[in-house]
């Protein structure tokens, strides 16, 4: 891992993005469009589902990858940590996503039964882009000071 390329982000950069949503008597339709919805080109889409009660996901940061997290069904929380400040964001509206810049440690928990977490990512899966050791993350973010 190249620590010099680790992005330095602030939890204030973790913002809610409103998806373009079409309201109809027969239901809602929300759209995610490349470069228009999220401020990055979408290279990968994955989703978490069948989450058992008490599940905790995430527990890592990315060196370069940006992600947009959308509660497709149900609700859950995303705890964002920039190495200095921590904030818990509750998601329960499928027309709103949470933008996670690179360099943010994220943990997902408090999943409601039947919830589905959709993630749009700016890069293909690459384990080398992960920081999974919190002490390593703290060391990298300490370089901010
Ligand atoms: P991980 O990123 O740890 O999941 P989460 O952050 O949701 O808890 O990934 C879990 C496993 O799935 C790990 O072995 C890597 C694999 N994986 C892929 O193969 N491709 C992917 O796009 C993702 C996100 C994970």
1-58 pLDDT, tens digit per residue, is 444 467 779 999 999 999 999 999 999 999 999 888 888 999 999 999 999 999 999 9
Does ligand 1 have an atom closer than 6 angstroms to the CB of 140?
no
Give 144's pLDDT tier (boundaries 50, 70, 90). low
pTM to 2 decimal places: 0.94
CA-closest residue to ligand 1 atom 16 = 125
Give the integer Cα–Cα distance in Å for 129 and 110.
Answer: 26
Whole-angstrom distance, CA of residue 10 vs CA of residue 69: 17
Tokens of 121: 């990512």
Active site residues: 60
Choose between 108 and 38: higher pLDDT: 108
Question: Is ligand 1 within 6 A of the CB of residue 125?
Answer: yes
Backbone angles phi, psi at 59, to 5 degrees: 80, 45
Q: What's the pLDDT at 37?
A: 86
In this predicted structure, the answer to whether residue 137 has a pLDDT above a threshold of 50 is yes
DSSP, collapsed to helix, strand or coil, labels residue 12 as helix
What is the spatial distance between Cα 130 and Cα 105, in angstroms, rounded to a whole number? 10
pLDDT digits (tens, 9 = 90+) for 80-102: 999 999 999 999 999 999 999 99
Judged by DSSP in three states, 141 sits in: helix
């Amino acid at each position: 891992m190249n620590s010099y390329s680790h992005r330095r982000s602030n939890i204030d950069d973790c913002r809610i993005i409103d998806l373009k949503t079409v309201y109809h008597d027969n239901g809602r339709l929300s759209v995610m469009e490349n470069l228009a919805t999220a401020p990055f080109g979408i290279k990968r889409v994955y989703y978490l589902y069948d989450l058992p009660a008490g599940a905790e996901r995430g527990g890592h940061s990315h060196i370069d990858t940006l992600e947009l997290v959308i509660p497709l069904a149900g609700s859950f929380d995303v705890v964002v940590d920039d190495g200095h400040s921590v904030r818990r964001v509750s998601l329960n509206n499928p027309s709103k996503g949470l933008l996670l810049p690179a360099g943010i440690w994220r943990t997902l928990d408090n999943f409601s039964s039947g919830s589905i977490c959709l993630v749009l990512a700016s890069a293909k899966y690459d384990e080398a882009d992960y920081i999974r050791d919190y002490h390593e993350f703290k060391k990298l973010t300490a370089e901010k000071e």
